[in-house]
Structure 1
Amino acid sequence: VPKGVLLGVSVGVDLTMALRTALAYFEELKISQDAWQGCAEALAKGLYSDDHVKFFCFQVLEHQIKFNVFKLISVQPEKTFIRNKAAQVFALVFITEYLTKWPKFFFDILSVAGLNPRGVDLYLRILMAIDAEVVDRDIVHSSEVMFCGLNTLIKDTMREQCIPNLVESWYQILHTYQHSNSELTCQCLEVVGAFVSWIDLNLIANERFVNMLLSHMSVEVLREEACDCLLEIINKGMDPVDKTKLVESLCQVLQTAGFFNIEQEEDVDFLARFSKLVNGMGQSLVISWTKLVKLGDMKNAQETLQAIQAKVPLMLQLLVHEDDDISLNIIGFCYDYLHVLKQLSVLTDQQKTNVEAIMLAVMKKLTYDDEYNFENEGEDEAMFVEYRKQLKLLLDRIAQVSPELLLEAVCRVFNATVQNWQSLPFMEVEVAIRLLYMLGEALPSTHGAHFSGDVTKATALQEMMRLLVNSGVSEYQHTSVTLEFFETVVRYDKYFIVEPQHIPNVLMAFLDHRGLRHTSPKVRSRTSYLFSRFVKSLHKFMNAYIEDILNRLQDLLELSPPENGLPALLTRDDQLFIFEAAGVLIVNSEYPAERKQALMRNLLAPLMDNFKILLNKLLGEQDEERQATLADCLNHAVGFASRTSKAFSNKQTVRQCGCSEVYLDCLRTFLPALSCHLQKEVLRSGIRTFLHRMIICLEEEVLPFIPTASEHMLKDCEAKDLQEFIPLINQITAKFKTQVSPFLQQIFMPLVQAIFEMLSRPAEENDQTAAMDKQMLRRSYFAFLQTVAGSGMNEVIGNQGVENIERIVFTIIQGAVDFPDPIAQKTCFIILSKLVELWGGKDGLVGFADFTYKHIVPACFMAPLKPTFDLSDAQTVLALSECAVTLKTIHLKRGPECIQYLQQEYLPSLQVAPEIIQEFCQALQQPDSKVFKNYLKVRNYFLSAFCTVVKFG
Structure 2
Amino acid sequence: MDEQALLGLNPNANADFRERALAYFEQLKVSPDAWQVCAEALAQRIYSDDHVKFFCFQVLEHQIKFKYAELTALQQQLIRETLIAWLQAQMLNAQPEKTFIRNKAAQVFALVFVTEYLTKWPKFFFDILSVVGLNTRGVDLYLRILMAIDAEVVDRDIIHTPEEARRNTLLKDTMREQCIPNLVESWYQILQTYQHTNSELTCQCLEVIGAYVSWIDLTLIANDRFINMLLGHMSVEVLREEACDCLYEIVNKGMDPVDKTKLVESLCQVLQSAGFFSINQEEDVDFLARFSKLVNGMGQSLIISWTKLVKSGDMKSAQDTLQSIESKVPLMLQLLIHEDDDISSNIIGFCYEYLHILKQLVLLSDQQKANVEAVMLAVMKKLTYDEEYNFENEGEDEAMFVEYRKQLKLLLDRLAQVSPELLLASVRRVFNGTLQSWQSAPFMDVEVAIRLLYMLGEAIPASHGAHFCGDVAKASALQDMMRTLVTSGVSAYNHTSVTLEFFETVVRYEKFFTVEPMHIPNVLMAFLDHRGLRHSSPKVRSRTAYLFSRFVKSLHKHMNAFVEDILSRIQDLLELSPPVSLSRFAIENGYQMLLSSDDQLFIYETAGVLIVNSDYPAERKSILMRNLLNPLMEKFKILLEKLVVEQDEERQAILADCLNHAVGFASRTSKAFSNKQTVKQCGCSGVYLDCLQSFLPALSCPVQKEILRGGVRTFLHRMIICLEEEVLPFIPTASEHMLKDCEAKDLQEFIPLINQITAKFKAQVSPFLQQVFMPLLHAIFEVLVRPSEENDQSAALDKQMLRRSYFAFLQTVTGSGMNEVIANQGAENVERVLFTVIQGAVEYPDPIAQKTCFIILSKLVELWGGKDGLVGFADFVYKHIVPACFLAPLKPTFDLADAQTILALSECAVTMKTIYLKRGPECIQYLQQEYLPSLQVAPEIIQEFCQALQQPDAKVFKNYLKIFFQRAKP
TM-score computed with the length of structure 1 as normaliser: 0.91
Which has the larger displacement, 83-92 or 888-897?
A: 83-92
Structure 2: 5+ residue stretches without partners: 1-35, 48-55, 57-69
Separation (CA, whole Å) in 2 of partners of 1:904 and 1:250: 88
Q: Deviations over 1:371-413 (max 9, x none)?
A: 1111111111111111111101011111111111111111111
Aligned-pair CA distance for 1:70: 4.4
Instruction: Kindly indicate whether the alpha-carbon contact (under 8 Å) linking 1:36 and 1:64 is maintained by their aligned counterparts in 2.
Output: no
Paired AA for residue 830 in structure 1: I
SS at match of 1:329: helix
3-state SS of the aligned residue for 1:653? Answer: coil
Structure 2 counterpart of 1:445:
462
Q: Which residue of 2 aligns with 1:130?
A: 149
Q: In structure 1, how many angstroms separate the alpha carbons of the residues matched to 2:466 and 2:420?
A: 19
1:628 maps to what in 2? 653
Q: Is the 8 A contact 1:440 1:446 kept in 2?
A: no
In the alignment, the residues of structure 2 paired with residue 731 and residue 905 of structure 1 have an alpha-carbon distance, to the nearest angstrom, of: 43
Question: Are 2:941 and 1:941 aligned?
Answer: no
| Counterpart residue identity of residue 154, structure 2 | V
Q: Which residue pairs with 1:435 in the alignment?
A: 452
Residues 414, 110 of structure 1: CA spacing in aligned structure 2 closer, same or farther, 3 A cutoff? same
Partner in structure 2 of residue 93 of structure 1: 112
Aligned-pair CA distance for 1:931: 3.3
Deviates more, 1:741-750 or 1:484-493: 741-750
Give the superposition deviation at 1:780: 1.0
Q: Which amino acid aligns with 1:126?
A: I
Amino acid at match of 1:536: K
> Is 1:241 the counterpart of 2:258 in the alignment?
yes
Shift of 1:935: 4.2
**In the superposition, relative to structure 1, how do residues 111 and 569 fare at CA in structure 2: closer, same or farther (>3 Å)?**
same
Which of 624, 636, 645 matches 1:611? 636
Letter in 2 for 1:113: V
Cα distance change of structure 1 residues 890 and 502 upon mapping to structure 2, 3 Å threshold: same
Q: Deviations over 1:303-351 (max 9, x none)?
A: 1111111111111111111111111100001110111111111111111
Question: How far, CA to CA, are the matches of 1:208 and 1:237 in structure 2?
Answer: 21
Q: Could you tell me which residue of structure 2 aligns to residue 700 of structure 1?
A: 725
Equivalent residue runs for 1:870-885 within 5 Å: 870-885=895-910
Matched with 1:527 is: 544
After superposition, residues 911-930 of structure 1 pair within 5 angstroms as 911-930=936-955
Residue 856 in structure 1 maps to residue 920 in structure 2? no
Match of 2:714 among 680, 686, 689: 689
Q: Cα deviations across residues 121-143 of structure 1 (Å, max 9, x unaligned)?
A: 33322222222222111222235
Name 1:500's counterpart in structure 2. 517
Task: Work out whether 1:581 is the aligned partner of 2:606.
Answer: yes
- Partners of 2:956 and 2:210 lie apart in 1 by 59
Q: Is the 8 A contact 1:446 1:452 kept in 2?
A: no
Separation of aligned partners in 2, 1:840 and 1:360:
78
1:165–1:656: structure 2 CA closer, same or farther, 3 Å change rule? same
Q: 1:445·1:451 contact (CA, 8 Å) conserved in 2?
A: no
Question: Aligned residue for 2:98?
Answer: 79
AA aligned to 2:313 is G
Q: 2:124 matched to which residue of 1?
A: 105
Structure 1 unaligned residues grouped into runs of 5+: 1-25, 41-52
Deviation at 1:98, TM superposition (A): 2.4
CA offsets 1:509-535 (integer angstroms, 9 cap, x no match)? 000000000000010000000000001
Distance 1:640 1:57, change over 3 A: same
Q: Deviation of residue 238 (structure 1)? A: 1.5
Structure 2 residue 383 is matched with structure 1 residue 366: yes
1:577 to 1:857, Cα distance in 2 relative to 1, 3 A: same
Helix, strand or coil at the partner of 1:330: helix
Distance 2:932 2:325 in 1: 75
The residue correspondences of 1:4-15 to structure 2 (distance < 5 A) are: none
Report if aligned partners of 1:445, 1:453 keep a CA contact under 8 Å in 2: no
**Aligned residue for 1:680?**
705
User: 1:837 is paired with a residue of what secondary structure?
Assistant: helix
Q: Are 1:448 and 1:492, in contact at CA under 8 Å, matched by a contact in 2?
A: no
Counterpart AA for 1:88: Q
Tell me what 1:15 maps to. none
Structure 2 matches for 1:358-507, cutoff 5 A? 358-445=375-462, 450-452=467-469, 459-507=476-524
Matched, 1:351 2:368: yes
* Match of residue 212 from structure 1: 229
1:78 and 1:172 map into 2 onto residues whose CA distance is 24
Aligned residue for 2:5?
none
Aligned-partner Cα distance in 1 for 2:168–2:722: 64
One-letter amino acid of the counterpart of residue 501, structure 1: M
The SS at the match of 2:389 is coil
Which of 186, 211, 214 is matched with 1:194 structurally?
211
1:67 aligns with 2:84: yes
Q: Which residue matches 1:735?
A: 760
Q: What's the CA shift for 1:507?
A: 0.4
Count of residue pairs brought into register by the alignment: 902
Structure 1 residue corresponding to 2:535, chosen from 511, 514, 518: 518
Indicate whether 1:228 and 2:245 are aligned.
Answer: yes
Percent identity among equivalent residues?
A: 82
Larger mean CA deviation between 813-822 and 240-249 belongs to: 813-822
Q: Normalized against structure 2, the TM-score is what?
A: 0.89
Structure 1 residues 766 and 30: CA distance shift in structure 2, 3 A: closer
**Amino acid paired to 1:663:** Y
**Rounded Cα–Cα distance in structure 2 between residues aligned with 1:669 and 1:214:** 81
Q: Is the 1:421–1:473 contact (alpha carbons within 8 Å) kept by the matching residues of 2?
A: yes
Q: Is the 8 A contact 1:36 1:60 kept in 2?
A: no
Aligned to 1:17: none
CA distance in 1, matches of 2:694, 2:41: 93
What one-letter code is carried by the residue in structure 2 that aligns with 1:412?
A: R
Q: Name the SS of the counterpart of 1:102 in structure 2.
A: coil
Deviations 1:814-857 (A, max 9, x none): 32233332222222221122111112222222332232233323
Match of 1:322 in 2: 339
**Considering only aligned residues, what root-mean-square deviation do their CA atoms show, in Å?**
2.6
Query: Cα deviations across residues 705-750 of structure 1 (Å, max 9, x unaligned)?
Result: 1111111111112111111111111111111111111211222122
8 Å contact kept, 2:601–2:668 = yes
Q: In 2, Cα distance between the equivalents of 1:106 and 1:804?
A: 82
What secondary structure, in the 3-state scheme, does the structure 1 residue paired with 2:289 have?
helix
Q: Alpha-carbon deviations, 1:654-703, whole Å to 9, x = none? A: 11111111111111111111111211111111111001001111121111
**Alpha-carbon distance change, 68 to 709 in structure 1, aligned in 2, over 3 angstroms:** farther
* Distance (whole Å) between structure 2 residues aligned to residue 196 and residue 688 of structure 1: 65
Between 72-81 and 378-387, report the one with greater CA deviation: 72-81
| Paired AA for residue 614 in structure 1 | L
SS in structure 1 of the partner of residue 228 of structure 2: helix
Alpha carbons 2:924, 2:946 under 8 Å: kept = yes
Q: Distance in 1 between matches of 2:861 and 2:943?
A: 24
Q: CA deviation at 1:919?
A: 4.0
Supply the distance in 1 between the matched residues of 2:776 and 2:687 (Cα, whole angstroms).
Answer: 31
Contact 1:440/1:447 (<8 A) preserved: no
Summarize the Cα distance change of 1:853–1:174 in structure 2 as closer, same or farther, 3 Å threshold.
farther
